Structure 1
Amino acid sequence: RHQLNRYPDGLEKCIGCELCAWACPADAIYVEADSNTPDAQYSPGERYGRVYQINYLRCIFCGLCIEACPTRALTMTNEYELAGPTREGLIYEKQDLLAPLAEGMLAAPHPMVPGTTDTDYYRGVVTGPTPEQEAWVRAHRPDDPTLPENKVATVAKEAQA
């Protein structure tokens, strides 16, 4: 199956350009872009994929969508078995396709690394979240489970249960 990847700080790689949808010969991909704002930055740059769907009833797994992606946001995983009890279950939404947050990543939305551009992200200059990004998330979403202090509390709660 397909996966939507993230940058090391947790921002999404998809910029909502829709090239994957245009490249798909089976018309299995639907993308709807939206603009990033200072309070809701989901990916580097000005746009992100607000809606992202892949209809696996139509997908022929040709890989043309992956070749078309300019940011390497879309890749294939090693999960090849796709089956489900309903047709609706085989239409994967953005939350089904997004790569899980790796250790140390912050959940989007949050600002880009201060002093960087979207080009710095594409070139791999950004290697993880900065204290400034953590402070922004802490100020806007104090209960966010991806913050280091909330991870410790979550692990402690799970250990008590």
Structure 2
Amino acid sequence: MALKTLQFLAIVLTALGLVPAGAHLFALPNKIGLAQEAYFVVQGIYRGWALFGLVLVPALFANLLLAFATRRTVRPSALALMAAVLMAANLAIFLAWTCPANAATENWTNPVPGWEMPRTRWEYSHAANAVLTFGALCLAVLSVLAAAPWRGQQGTDGSR
């Protein structure tokens, strides 16, 4: 796979992972204090959003592949590897806190006693993942920028 294509995929897949996470982060202040009935109604707007989660694994692998493809240049490779680590942390948080909250409430269709704890875990795990995914996106972009020769930049022999 050509390096430019891999760079493009790492950025785009990571950015797509930020879409739902960012939406959850910015909705958190308006939702966290809602009463049970209102909260469960509002959660209905996320039906079908699970499909966004499918992009997280390809984003992780695209960043890993980018780190491998640029392994001869330390900075771009290290930046891409750090992006992959953040995407892996995102998945770990999802599996540890978000997914169990979804399961306990049957994807927010079944109010359970003590529903506030799953809500808190769900909301804050999404907030953490928004921060991690934004960091991964920044690192992926920095990796591409670090690997890119700048137009107009002079070579060591004085040529352009």
| TM-score class normalised by the smaller sequence | under 0.3
Which structure shows the higher helix fraction? 2
Q: Which has the larger radius of gyration?
A: 2
Report 1 or 2 for greater relative contact order, CA contacts < 8 Å, sequence distance ≥ 6.
2
